[in-house]
Structure 1
Amino acid sequence: MASETSRSPPFFVLTEGALRSRYDADVDKAEPVNRGDAPRCPLCGTFIGLLKWLPPYRVELELHGEELGDFIKSSAYDLLISERFGESFRAEGLTGLEGFHPVEVVRVRRKGKRALKPLSVPRYFVVSPCFGRAAVDLVLNRVRTHRTPTCPECRTGGINAINGFVLEPGTWSGEDVFRPRGMPGEIVVTERFKSFVERHGLTNMVLIPTEQFVWDPGKRGPAPLPTA
Structure 2
Amino acid sequence: MDSEPSSSPQFFVLKVPAPGNYDTEFSDGGDHNVGEAPRCPRCSAVLGMLSWLPPYRGELELHGESFGDLVRAPGNELLMNERMAEAFQREGLKGLSGFHPVEIVRVRKRGQRNKPPVPPKYLCVSPAFLSAAVDETRSRIRRSEPFSCTYCRAVGVDAMYGFALEEGSWNGDDIFRPRGSTGRFVVSQRFEQFVTQHGFTNMQLTPTQEFIQDYSAPNGSN
Q: Is the 8 A contact 1:38 1:50 kept in 2?
A: yes
**What corresponds to 1:88 in structure 2?**
87
The one-letter amino acid paired with 2:136 is L
Question: 2:37 corresponds to which residue?
Answer: 38
Identity of aligned residues (%): 50
Q: Cα offset for 1:121? A: 0.6
| Matched letter for residue 127 of structure 2 | P
Call closer, same or farther: CA 1:104–1:118 in 2, change over 3 Å. closer
Partner of 2:154: 156
2:176 equivalent among 163, 175, 178: 178
> Displacement, 1:178?
1.0
Q: Which residue of 2 aligns with 1:225?
A: none
Q: Quick one: distance in 2 between partners of 1:7 and 1:76?
A: 35
Contact 2:39 2:46 in 1 (8 A): yes
C-alpha deviation, 1:4, in angstroms: 4.8
Q: Distance in 2 between matches of 1:56 and 1:190?
A: 31
Q: Within 2, Cα distance between the matches of 1:193 and 1:5? A: 20
Match for residue 103 of structure 2?
104
The structural deviation recorded for 1:217 is 3.1
User: Displacement, 1:118?
Assistant: 5.7
Equivalences for residues 41-60 of structure 1 within 5 A: 41-60=40-59
Q: 1:182 to 1:64 in 2, by over 3 A?
A: same
Deviation sequence 1:64-98 (CA, Å, 0-9, x none): 21111101112461101110000000001100011
Inter-CA distance 180–205: structure 2 relative to 1 (3 Å threshold): same
Taking the aligned partners of 2:66 and 2:172, their CA distance within structure 1 comes to 34
Contact 1:176 1:192 in 2 (8 A): yes
Give the TM-score taking structure 1 as reference length.
Answer: 0.89
Unaligned runs of 5+ in 2: none
Change (3 A) 1:99 1:17: same
Q: Within 2, Cα distance between the matches of 1:116 and 1:110?
A: 9
1:157-204 CA-partner distances (Å, limit 9, x unpaired): 211122110001110011111110010111111111111111111111
Q: Which amino acid aligns with 1:180?
A: P
Equivalent positions of 1:67-216 (< 5 A) are 67-75=66-74, 77-113=76-112, 119-216=117-214
Q: Which amino acid aligns with 1:181?
A: R
CA separation in 2, counterparts of 1:187 and 1:35?
A: 21
Which residue in 2 is equivalent to 1:224?
Answer: none
Contact 2:52-2:75 within 8 A present in 1 as well: no
Q: Where in structure 1 are there 5+ consecutive unaligned residues?
A: 221-228
Amino acid in the other structure paired with 1:66: E
Give the superposition deviation at 1:59.
1.1
Distance across 1 between alignment mates of 2:42 and 2:54: 29
Which whole-Å deviations, capped at 9, do the CAs of 1:104-141 have from their partners, x for residues lacking one?
Answer: 0000011125x758613110001111013310012111
Residue pair 1:140, 1:166 contacting (<8 A) in 2 also: yes
Letter in 2 for 1:6: S
Q: Secondary structure at the match of 1:197?
A: helix
The offset of 1:2, in angstroms, is 3.4
**After the TM superposition, which of the residue ranges 115-124 and 31-40 deviates more from structure 2?**
115-124
- Corresponding position of 1:25: 24
